[in-house]
Every structure is written in C-alpha cells, then in structure tokens.
Amino acid sequence: MALEFEKPITDLETRIAELKTYGVTSAVDMTEEIALLEKRLERLRLETFSTLTRWQRVQLARAAGRPTALDYIANIFTDYQELHGDRAYGEDAAIVGGLARLEGRAVIVIGQQKGRDTKENIARNFGMAHPEGFRKAMRLMDMADKFGLPLITLVDTPGAYPGIAAEERGQAWLIAQSIQKMTRLRVPVICTVIGEGGSGGALAVAVGNRVLILENAVYSTISPESCAAIIWRDAKEAEKAAEAMKLTARDLEKFNIVDQVITEPKGGAHNDPEAAMQNLKTALLEHLAQLEGLDESALIRDRAARFRKLGVFEEISA
C-alpha cells in the first residue's frame, strides 16, 4: 500500500504498466510514450525522495512492505537456526534471534520483529517487547560472548511495550540490564536500525561497536506521537514533533549517534528489498572485517569509547 506522498508515483507507475499492456495487446507502438513517462517517473521519484520531510521518513520507516528483521535474516544470512524462550518466563515473539552464518562466518543474530500483516503483528505485539523478550536477547548475547561469536542486531521497534504486565515484570530493569550486558560483550557487536528505533526498547539491543542505520530509518528517545501528546497535548501534532526531534538517519549521523547511513534503493527499502538487503550485507561484512582484528578487551574499550563521546554541551570557562 502506497503512502500518501507516494501516490503520484504509484499512479504514474500504473499508467505506464497500462500503456505497456495496451502496446502488446493492440500492436500499436507505444515505445515513445512509455519512454517519456518513464523519464517523468524518474524525475518525480527523485524530487519526492530528495525532499522528504522528517515525518515522511517516519512513515517510510514504518511502511507496510518494508523488509522486517526476519526478511533481512533470511536474505543476508544462511543456516539460520532460531532459538526461542528466555529460560525464565516465556517466549516473546517481538524479539527473534539465534545462530546463523554470514558469508560462512557463524554469528548470533538478534532482531526486533514487527508483523508483516495484521495477524502476525498481533502475534508479535507490533514489535514491542516485554521483559522476557529482552531476557531472551540477553541469553543470546551471553551465547555470543561464551562462544566468541560476533553479535549482529537488527533494531525495529516502536518501543518497549508500555503495558501493566510489562511493568510488573520489570521492563525498566530488563532494559537497563540488557544495555549493561552489551557494554561487557567480548565479541564484535554491530547494530543496525532497519526501521523504527524507538527509545529504550531499541537501545536495549543497540549498544554496539558500530551502530548503523538505513537511510529511511529513524531513531529517537520517544515516538513523535508521544512527544506531541506531551508537548502539544495532541498526538496529531506528530508531524511537528518529528521535525523538532531530528530523528532521521542524516540527523543522527551529524551527532555521531550512528556510524554509517546505509543507502536504500530509490523509493525506499520496500520498493526493492533485495537491493536494501544487499547494501546492508555489504556494510555488515565491512564493519565485521574491521572489528575482527581487535582482541576481547580492545573490543570493549572500543565500544565504551564510542559511547563516551556522545552528548553535546559546553564547558563553562572559569
């Protein structure tokens, strides 16, 4: 389904497709018209996607049809063996993970998983984890650490689930513990925000030696809707909030919150998932190659140094 601002593009696409069919069935030569329209389509795409507002990026980050964590896992990795359960309370389908191979190299992969349709979204709680989800992630981190396997995480969540049971089971504590566990891992850790990086629920699996982000993904301390609800007392002001929050990949790059912005195919990852996945795979391999030269304590120091620098303030001269 097309987003509001994508509509002129999809309309044009439909017309071109119609013309092509007509050309075939009627044997009238439509080549020139089609070429003209395709040129116009190209220009329209370029215009639309080079002037995206931050709110439009948020919509792209959440777009139906955008590749999810399991899509990336299936495409980028081989031999994926999903491991379930947190060994304490239950299984949380909002976070997936297990063993896999990346170009033959065994790794642990953890992903925050949204549903690809309504039914799956309900089963996966729209990618919003409960404490048991974070506990499962921590169990997989321990496994990576124990067996010396690099850890790859894929971040895509509106946030940790804000529900009664989640709070009862210590949502704040599990997020804090997961962050802390990531600070201690003796293996390379590469985290990529593939869609929505929502607040503490995202950070809980995003404390890496490298933090990457897809071009149209967003990462923020609160969702634009919640920000708007607090400041303007109206969630409908989310568009304003998104602008103020500077939550796009390029914004984050400026503040060194992310190390690399991974290019998405024209029209966004959902328009050409294969290309998006290939770009991410290339980046993962590159960063992994750089990190595999570091020993255990150097990996921890590297990660600590990366986060130590984050923040903007000024020294008061005496």
Q: Give the helix/strand (H/E) hosting 96.
A: strand 95-102
Position 157 contacts other proteins (CB under 8 A)? no
Q: Which residues ranging from 214 to 273 are in contact with other proteins (CB under 8 A)?
A: 219-222, 226-227, 230-232, 240-241, 244-247, 251-252, 255, 257
> Which of 281, 285, 283, 303 has its CA nearest to residue 294?
303
Q: How many residues bind other proteins (CB under 8 A)?
A: 59
36, 123, 172, 289: residue in contact with other proteins (rule CB under 8 A): 172
**Complex with other proteins: residue 154 or 245, whichever CB lies closer:** 245
Q: Which residues ranging from 296 to 315 are in contact with other proteins (CB under 8 A)?
A: 300, 303-304, 307-308, 310-315
Q: Shortest gap between Cβ of 161 and other proteins (angstroms)? A: 8
Ramachandran class of 168: left when φ > 0, alpha when ψ lies in -120 to 50, beta otherwise: alpha
Q: Which residues ranging from 83 to 142 are in contact with other proteins (CB under 8 A)?
A: none
Rounded CA-CA distance 85/132 in Å is 8
- Site string (187-206) toward other proteins, x via CB under 8 A: ----------x-xx--xx--
> Cα separations (Å) of 266 from 43, 49, 150, 208, 261?
11, 8, 31, 28, 15
Q: Which residues, listed in sequence order, are joined to residue 101 by a DSSP beta bridge? A: 78, 106
> Which of 231, 189, 214 has its CA nearest to residue 279?
214
Q: Shortest gap between Cβ of 257 and other proteins (angstroms)? A: 5
Q: Shortest gap between Cβ of 249 and other proteins (angstroms)? A: 11
> CB of 157 within 8 A of CB of 129?
yes
Angle at 215 between CA 158 and CA 149, to 5 degrees: 75
Rounded CA-CA distance 47/133 in Å is 41
Q: Which residues ranging from 278 to 297 are in contact with other proteins (CB under 8 A)?
A: none
Chain residues in the site for other proteins (CB under 8 A): 160-164, 166-173, 175-177, 179-180, 182-184, 197, 199-200, 203-204, 207, 219-222, 226-227, 230-232, 240-241, 244-247, 251-252, 255, 257, 300, 303-304, 307-308, 310-316, 318
